[in-house]
Structure 1
């Protein structure tokens, strides 16, 4: 007997309870709301042979960086689906298995092929999307457009008020430059399902791109208390609030938010904790504020336990920021050398931009601003290859801009600021432009 998900796709279980708990668990998984693990565990308990419940559980474990557990769980899912799964279910499990086992290129190709056949299989459709999705970490320079193309190709299969699809379609358009459409879609998705972390995250990003900082601050401060601190994106949503405070020059409030919500803890996943702590503290320092004693040391202590193996460009860059800021030039040089070997072997799709921005971080930390600008200027357009979001990658352009200003290259800094202000209103950029014009 088959049961169906809420998109009318059948799955193999004989238990109504397992089917109900699976549907609930998938919605919680795709909204990143607490309770997904419990719901999926209940589905498995109701039907220990339910392959897709194990696959969803493995996907959640991978999101939470519980990789040992995820690998064991997806093996169980593969064993079960091989015995009694349908073609869709076997493909579904295979895509997740590729991703969990670090075969990201295979995972992306398989996910795209799968969604061409079964576009409403949203667990799989979700995987290429988002700031940390398979497209973002593919090394592609045009991954923002690729996400839009994927969403638009399958838009006809989703209702206009589908909260999940609105979230990711809006995110894709907002990151790709269509900010008004992105704002409309993401805000509607949040209205439809308020207990949706991915929606508020998408809204925060699209409002950032719109320069609507006051609106973003209202959304975050009004919503964050509803989301338990144990949630995997609690600290990252707060990071957005800290950036907003820093944008208006209120470093005291920004650091207060950082200390309360963002500073290294066990609640966030390592890639978020390392990137958010490193990029925030780097911004504080680069923007001319003082980083309170101990904060960099705490960030470095946390980071030391992760991403020791180079080859994950988004993490490589942020690990380089931590090392550069704490004076560990040797660690950056070692990472750059290892990245060079990966490039020679053809196994680093993001390419030469990765070691370049790592070297630039050292130059900036050593106040060799001319060298930093010299390194960053030729690769600035390629930074998109490291993945993440526009808001996360903006730190590289900020570092270039500040280096230009501090190395006496005012005309280049002026041109870059005008281009940025045309793209996104920014009080900080406006202040910097005014400073240049009054020199």
Structure 2
């Protein structure tokens, strides 16, 4: 009897034994569950010739952006291809195998396009939907995320087992494309339907952050911890969002407490964890907070990732950690690595060239105290930074550094222009912007006084 997943699509499994762990794998993946790897391992133990299982594992590895896992993903592709050739695979399963090959060949955009094409024939497949969403997130393709989910959303009726997770993805895509009111509605509905939908929960947190509603954001996250306490490393990212809310409220002690006890609860070198920590410490330092020796741990871990060149977003956060942690030699190696990455004829290589290299030069200049140079390089990177992936909230650290560099370089009008552009994107005034707009205004008033000829001394 053919086996089917919980969306009604056939699976090339040898029998029913592996069906339950595979369904558990997909459910956990949709919820960012920490149990995903163990369910997938059990599936492949029971069905070692399951091509879709091997290919999915390979894509999971590539999403983690670690050089050593590229080798694992390559082995996964070989296992998947051999299994598909030996025992067969459906067209849907083969598409995932081929998408893994695309990404391994340096073309994650092609992988996402291939999976989207497969989704047109299998619109109710939440695994494909989430894989596309994840790959396009890595590419900073908010419009692509939204088009993909909105194409298949009509297939998610009230009885679809993954409706809540689909709405969570839709909510995040809506937020990243600026439709904040609709994103908030969809995200809240997602969590009401799937209580463990951390992605939908965090989509609402994004909206509340982008619209300057820190107190609402605090309450939303603190009253819904059950939606993310089951998560893998993603739970640290949700704690990071809570820290941003407290930072905007000016409650620095609480931010530090969250950093030490939750955000860095496990001192991993996972790039998502490093980026959470580094970007929060930068925000604190821009506010004049002494973060003590916390950079040392991040810098020590980042030294081991200098040659990864898997993800430009990750590399820039490693560089921040190295610069702030005073690892000069390693920072220089990181700059050289980004430059080498920019020479590669791959999707990520092109992103490194247009966004990564100028941003890296700007960060290096900033930490050397060359603020005008930092502003110039970061401004050159700015139109392209969306392509490094992550979210508006995550990339905002580069906005803040650029604005801080402009102010420190005495470029009040440039700082104000950046703040106005940032406000237009966000849709709400936060404390950071309000204080810097006032600072820029004071600088401009002071400059006007200094340039007023009427106030100059007249020679006797």
Q: Given the two structures, how large is their TM-score scaled by the length of structure 2?
A: 0.84
1:176 is matched with which residue? 177
User: What aligned pairs does 1:154-303 form with structure 2 within 5 A after superposition?
Assistant: 154-159=152-157, 162-224=163-225, 227-228=228-229, 231-263=232-264, 265=266, 270-292=270-292, 294-303=293-302
Contact map agreement 1:248 1:428 (CA 8 A) in 2:
no
Contact 1:55–1:74 at 8 Å: present in 2 too? yes
Deviates more, 1:374-383 or 1:399-408: 374-383
Q: Structure 1: where are the runs of 5+ without partners?
A: none
Distance 1:223 1:279, change over 3 A: same
For residue 134 of structure 1, what is the aligned residue in structure 2? 135
In structure 2, distance between residues paired with 1:385 and 1:329: 27
Q: Hey, what does 2:451 align to over in structure 1?
A: none
**What is the aligned residue count?**
431
Q: 1:392 to 1:249 in 2, by over 3 A?
A: same
| Deviates most, 118-127 or 168-177 | 118-127
Q: Does 2:336 align with 1:337?
A: yes
Task: Determine if contact 2:59/2:73 at 8 Å carries over to the other structure.
Answer: yes
Q: Secondary structure at the match of 1:6?
A: coil
Which structure 1 residue ranges, 4+ long, deviate > 6 Å from structure 2?
none
Match of 2:90 in 1: 86
Find the partner of 1:147 among 134, 145, 148. Answer: 145
| Distance (Å, rounded) in 1 between the aligned partners of 2:231 and 2:206 | 21
Shift of the 408–197 alpha-carbon distance from structure 1 to 2, 3 Å rule, reads same
Corresponding position of 1:374? 376
Please tell me whether the aligned partners of residues 26 and 56 of structure 1 are also in contact (alpha carbons under 8 angstroms): no
Answer yes or no: is 1:361 the counterpart of 2:363: yes
1:353–1:86: structure 2 CA closer, same or farther, 3 Å change rule? closer
After TM superposition, the structure 1 stretch with the greater mean CA deviation from structure 2, 238-247 or 165-174, is: 238-247
Please give the secondary structure, in 2, of the residue aligned with 1:33.
coil
SS at structure 2 position matched to 1:408: coil
Question: Cα gap change, 1:81/1:304 in structure 2, threshold over 3 Å: closer, same or farther?
Answer: same
Instruction: Measure the CA separation in 2 of the matches of 1:151 and 1:109.
Output: 13
Give, in whole Å, the separation in 2 of the partners of 1:385 and 1:166: 24
* Aligned 1:98-117 pairs, distance under 5 A: 98-99=102-103, 103-117=107-121
Correspondence for 1:24: 24
TM-score by length of 1: 0.88
* CA shift digits 1:128-149 (9 cap, x unpaired): 31xxx322444x7xx2212212
Counterpart for residue 125 of structure 1? 129
Counterpart-to-counterpart distance in 2, 1:59 and 1:334: 28
Preserved CA contact (<8 Å) 2:197 2:228: no
